[in-house]
Amino acid sequence: MASVETAAEHERILREIESTDTNCIGPTLRSVYDGQEHGLFMDKLDARIRNHDREIEKMCNHHFQGFVDSITELLKVRGEAQKLKSQVIETNRRLQDDGKELITSMEELRQCRVQQRNIATTIDKLTHCLPVLEMYSRLQEQMRAKRYYPALRTLEQLEHTCLPRAGQYRFCSIMAENIPKLRTQIRDTAMTQLRDFLESIRKHSDKIGETAMKQAQLQRSLDSSMCVQPRALIGQRSRREAAAAMTGTDSDGQGGSPLSEQDSGILDVENEEEDDVPGAQDLVDFSPVYRCLHIYTVLGLRDVFENYYRKQRRKQARLVLQPHSNMHETLEGYRRYFNQIVGFFVVEDHVLHTTQGLVNRAYVEELWELALSKIVAALRTHSSYCDNPDLVLDLKNLIVLFADTLQGYGFPVSQLFDMLLEMREQYGEILLKRWNITFRQVLDQDNYSPIPVSTEQEYRQYTSQFPLQDPELEKLPFPKKLPFSEFVPKVYCQLKEFIYACLKYSEDLHLSSTEVDDMIRKSTNLLLTRTLSHCLQYGIKKKNVGLAELVQVIINTTHLEQSCHFLEEFISNITNVPPDTANATKLYGTSTFKDARHAAEAEIYTNLNTKIDQFLQLADYNWMTAVQGSGALTTSDYLIDLIAFLKSTFSVFTNLPGKVAQTACMSACKHISTSMLQLLLDPEVRQISMGALHQLNTDVKECESFARAGPVAGFQGDTLLLAFSDLRQLLDLFTQWDWSTYLADYGKPTCRYLRVNPHTALALLEKLFKPMRETSRKNNVFAQFRKTDRDRQKLIDTVIKQLRNLIASQHHT
């Protein structure tokens, strides 16, 4: 099996040798020598060679006759060739003899041709040397004129075109040696101009930014509905020159800067025509940048130049972004800070759009991200020091203008608007502080009296300030009084002023009407629930506020509460958001004024009771007075004064809501009743006579007469008398000495003395019985009681015992 495969392989190699070019059979033969059957292959090869030899021999035998014929023909041709050779030699001899004269003429012609070629070579050399000299002369002129970019282009042409053509001459060698020095000089000079330019724009960036922001403000005022990029205002001259700076050449065919060759980066634009408003970039001569960029590009140092430019601009950015420590003190400080930043990025944006790769979009965006973070941090820090809402509002408008200006140049400014929304909270707090002072001033200046109006004009003036709707009041003739004091229209106007102040801040923040409406409503709620509420509490709790003032406060808050829906409509009108919009924030004014009114009512009750206590302190009862006839008892002086005071006070309550007046009257009567009962039960009063009880009973009757007269309208029947029912039943029990009824009916709903507490009755009975018991103890040593005294003593002891049993039974139950 192996021999068959070997034979087949040898056969393949032989075919390959036969069919392959001899130059390529090396690998084939190597495969033979690498194998183990070399001898066998040689045998095969010899056999194949013998085979081919036999075939060649057969072919030669087949064509031998033709070969013989060809030899015969060749012999015949030899003779003819000899004859032809003889003829050619003869012809050549004759030609040589005839051409000697021509050769002489040709030699003379050759000499002329050599001279002509030498002249042409000389002219050619001069032709190549003269442009070198002319170009070098132009180079010197351009260097003297400080036209460095054309000089560099001339230098390049001189080095790469003219000098190689001129050849190896001494003056060419001197020029070639000077070329690197000239390049270095041009490079250093261009870099110096660039440094001057960078320093110039650093100093004048605030002027550039101020111009850009003025243009943005002008554009916004011309047509706020159109989103026009501020770059559209850039002067056409600047665009044409910037484009020419990248592609144009000078009139001599040499590349050069199209702009002024002046080194200053700031141009004087004061003499331009009024109708040619310069753009922010028109203030800057960018030729040093373009010139230096071209020069470094030609020198093959563009990367070096780009890195240097970006590094220097980053340093300038850090300086620009560093705010002054007192920036927060004035708006001008903020404006200067923003102007410098805008000026910086206007320059970078212009360089981005007028150069090919000096700065790219990624580099500018990186700088802007750095700037944005530092700007936001600086504004947060410095704005936190501000406590003037007008300055905060001006700052907000300045930030909006700053953001709109840079947004017009393609910079994202969403973070600035987010920060403005954060500042909105601070602005609201500052407003609340200012309005807190304003409300307190209004409260302090208010006279707490209804506003008198004597003419229709005065009436309309007040109704224009506050939405008063009272048809009955309008029908009254002049002069008349408005129910509220000056506090109401002033507070209402201040609420509207606060809403306007909130609206001013919300302008130009790119917020929807719903968002503006929600912000205003939330801020107004804070004003109502926190600031105004505290001020009202402050006004109510002041020491010098009397009952009349508190009554007026209740009337004022009632009218302000009724005006809340007008405030809702006012906000809806200025924000163009319907009040019934879903999820709309509602004003909390109603609850605020209700709480203030309730506080005023509570203060009225407290003050009224305090006044009553002051009168009661004048009470001077003789608790041991003897019993007098009913006609001899008169009402105590302090009570007469107290009732007169109450009548006068309740007459002021006519403008109050009926429920408030009734509650105040009922509270006062209950307090009088409770206080008079406390006089009886005072621990310092240890003994009481029946005469004192009759005097107190007379005073209580006077109080009941006052209550029955109805000092405040609205009570049904003798409702007000219920305030004295506890005291009345107690006095009736003692004056009528109806203990049997009390003890028999105690606890029954129909009991006549239902409101008499056993503890109270026992305490008073002991005070009443104490003098009688002490007298009996003194007389009991040597004398017997009279029968009437003994019977009375037994009755009292029995009542006391039953009262104690009654108390004990209540305690167990």
- The pair of structure tokens assigned to 335 is 């404006």
What pLDDT digit, counting tens, does each position of 252-298 carry? Answer: 333 333 333 333 444 443 333 334 445 656 778 888 888 888 888 88
**Model confidence band, residue 661 (pLDDT cutoffs 50, 70, 90):** confident
Decide if pLDDT at 395 tops 70.
yes
Query: Tell me: the pLDDT tens digits for 469-494?
Result: 878 888 888 888 888 889 889 989 99
Instruction: pLDDT band for 114, please (50, 70, 90 cuts).
Output: very high
In this prediction, residue 771 carries a pLDDT of 57
Q: Spell out the domain ranges in the chain.
A: 9-62, 169-222+280-411, 428-449+485-602, 641-811
Section 38-59 average pLDDT: 84
Residue 781 has pLDDT above 70, yes or no: no
For residue 561, give every residue at least 6 positions away whose Cβ sits within 8 Å of its Cβ, in sequence order, or none. 589, 590, 593, 594, 597
- Per DSSP, helices labelled H in 589-689 are 589-616, 637-652, 658-681
Instruction: Assign domain 428-449+485-602 one CATH number from 3.40.50.620, 3.90.76.10, 1.10.357.10, 1.10.357.30.
Output: 1.10.357.30
Three-class DSSP labels, 376-441: HHHHHHHHCCCCCHHHHHHHHHHHHHHHHHHHHCCCCCHHHHHHHHHHHHHHHHHHHHHHHHHHHH
The pLDDT tens digits of the residues spanning 528-565 come to 888 888 888 888 877 677 777 888 888 888 888 888 88
Q: With respect to CATH, is domain 641-811 assigned 3.40.50.10860?
A: no
Please, which contacts does 222-230 make with residues 24 or more away whose CB atoms are closer than 8 Å? Answer: 228/408, 229/408, 229/409, 229/410, 230/280, 230/405, 230/408, 230/409
Mean of pLDDT over the chain: 80
Percent of the chain with pLDDT over 70: 87
Residue 14 has pLDDT above 90, yes or no: no
pLDDT grade for 734, boundaries at 50, 70 and 90 = confident
Q: What is the pLDDT of residues 178-226, one digit of tens each?
A: 888 888 888 888 888 888 888 888 888 888 888 888 888 888 777 555 4
pLDDT at 779 over 60: no
Six-digit token pair at 441?
């001033």
Q: Pick from 359, 352, 349: which is nearest to 407 by CA?
A: 349
Whether 422 shows a pLDDT value over 70: the answer reads: yes
